[in-house]
């Protein structure tokens, strides 16, 4: 039975999983979820994810939600296929991947999420972005990127001289962030810029990015 991914191509969390699927070269079916009609809040979808959020992965009788958990599952189950995103054969490298996975979710994501949400999502809902919230989170993101700049001065990617799930998890939100007026936060840091240009040019993500029209203004 083919993998089924419930979500939409422009969703940051859906694209996180889509990129992982393409990195692994896996066959899957993308099942569209009509967010504007509230399909994700209806009983059939809530039976798959009680929190009413996309994406959801179905693999036979296993149903998973939360995009980071899904990518970790795929990277583990299909570790022999495509790129080894968790560095299974090296304990130290695997540990560093886990460290930078945590950094993305705990340090990087909270700041960049607020910026992308304020700049893109609220206007779509007919609301006005709060520049004060954007400014606070630009400052937070800048401090995180200072750490990244130092780290990426010693290694090609975050966990080492290899692409991993830690890098992949940065792609979707950074892609949209680079369409905001504040892309200079990335571009003004040479090591971060080189890293971003490298990971965003991978064929798997370029394929996914074709459907990421959410940030077009």
- Give the pLDDT score at 216: 52
Asked if 178 and 107 sit in the same domain, the reply is yes
Instruction: Quote the number of domains for the chain.
Output: 2
Is position 214 within any domain? no
Is position 193 within any domain? yes
| Spatial distance between the Cα atoms of 109 and 87, rounded to a whole number of angstroms | 23
- Give the pLDDT score at 143: 98
Asked if 100 and 185 sit in the same domain, the reply is yes
Provide the CATH number for the domain around residue 63: 3.40.30.10
Give tens-digit pLDDT for 72-90.
999 999 999 999 999 999 9
DSSP per-residue codes, 104-161: IIIIIHHHHHHHHIIIIIHHHTT----HHHHHHHHHHHHHHHHHHHHHTTT-SSSSSS
- Give the pLDDT score at 217: 44
| Spatial distance between the Cα atoms of 45 and 38, rounded to a whole number of angstroms | 10
- Give the pLDDT score at 213: 84
Provide the CATH number for the domain around residue 197: 1.20.1050.10
Strand partners, 127: none
Give the range of the structural domain holding residue 40, as residue numbers without chain letter.
Answer: 3-78
What residues in the chain have per-residue pLDDT under 50? 215, 217
Asked if 59 and 95 sit in the same domain, the reply is no
Asked if 51 and 153 sit in the same domain, the reply is no
Asked if 124 and 46 sit in the same domain, the reply is no
Residue pair 174/106 in contact by the 8 Å Cβ criterion: no
Asked if 115 and 45 sit in the same domain, the reply is no
Is position 110 within any domain? yes
């Amino acid at each position: 039975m083919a993998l089924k991914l419930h979500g939409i191509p422009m969703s940051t969390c859906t694209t996180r999983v889509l990129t992982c699927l393409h990195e692994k070269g896996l066959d899957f079916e993308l099942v569209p979820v009509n967010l504007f009609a509230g399909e994700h809040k209806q009983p059939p979808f809530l039976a798959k994810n009680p929190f009413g959020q996309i994406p959801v992965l179905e693999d036979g009788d296993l149903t998973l939600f939360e995009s980071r958990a899904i990518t970790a599952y795929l990277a583990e189950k299909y570790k022999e296929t495509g790129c080894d995103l968790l560095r299974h054969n090296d304990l130290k490298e695997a540990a560093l991947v886990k460290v930078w996975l945590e950094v993305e979710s705990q340090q990087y994501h909270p700041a960049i999420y607020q910026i992308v949400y304020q700049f893109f999502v609220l206007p779509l809902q007919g609301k006005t972005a709060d520049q004060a919230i954007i400014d606070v989170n630009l400052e937070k993101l800048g401090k995180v990127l200072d750490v990244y700049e130092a780290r990426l001065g010693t290694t090609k990617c975050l966990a080492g001289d290899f692409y991993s799930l830690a890098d992949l998890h940065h792609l979707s939100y950074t892609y949209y962030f680079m369409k905001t007026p504040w892309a200079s936060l990335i571009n003004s840091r040479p090591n971060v810029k080189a890293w971003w240009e490298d990971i965003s040019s991978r064929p798997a993500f370029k394929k996914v990015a074709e459907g990421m029209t959410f940030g077009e203004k």
